[in-house]
Amino acid sequence: MATMLRQQEVDVHVDFYGFGLQDTDDSAVPDSYPDGREPDGPFLSAYEGRIDIESAGHTHTAALTVEVWDANPPQDKRLAWEVQDETELQSPSGELEIRAAAGAQEGYVELGSPNRLWRVRLFCAGREEVADLAQHGVPNGVERYLAQFWPATKSGEESSSTPPR
């Protein structure tokens, strides 16, 4: 049975309908977010050293919960998630910075183990509501994300829907 090792909650400043999580070791990220980002792309896209997340609202603050597990966690059922996807992310530093088009945000996501290939499962709720509210203002905490990280196995995990580019 999988055990959660740590949980972290952060506010994410979304701009231009997206944000990214990328390794803090710049040498591991050939193209920093948002370089090469696909506007109107898929919900989750993997690049070398980073993942890009597409939001339903242009400019707003989203709530992100990050969980680090020792193995593949059970599917989360705490919310009625509107969308979810899975991919892999190599993290030489074991820390990820949160980036928007305007640049890096304060604070880091702590994965805890450097030089590791991680699986990540990302969930999102509040998309429909933030799409409407962001047209009239700058909502706070309406769109909610859950990112579950766990070490990838040497044989790989099933359902890698978006391989790193």
Rounded Cα distance, 73 and 28, in Å: 27
pLDDT at residue number 4: 98
Q: How far apart are CA 130 and CA 157, in angstroms?
A: 32
Strand, coil or helix: what is 87?
strand
Whole-model pTM above 0.85?
yes
- Give the strand pairing for 18-23 and 50-54: antiparallel
Domains in the chain, please, with CATH?
4-151 (2.60.34.30)
Q: What backbone torsions phi and psi does residue 79 show, to the nearest 5 degrees?
A: -130, 165
Q: CA 112, CA 96: separation in Å to the nearest integer?
A: 10
SS3 129: helix
| pLDDT tens series, the chain, 165 aa | 999 999 999 999 999 999 999 999 999 999 999 999 988 899 999 999 999 999 999 999 999 999 999 999 999 999 999 999 999 999 999 999 999 999 999 989 999 989 999 999 999 999 999 999 999 999 999 999 999 999 998 654 443 444 455
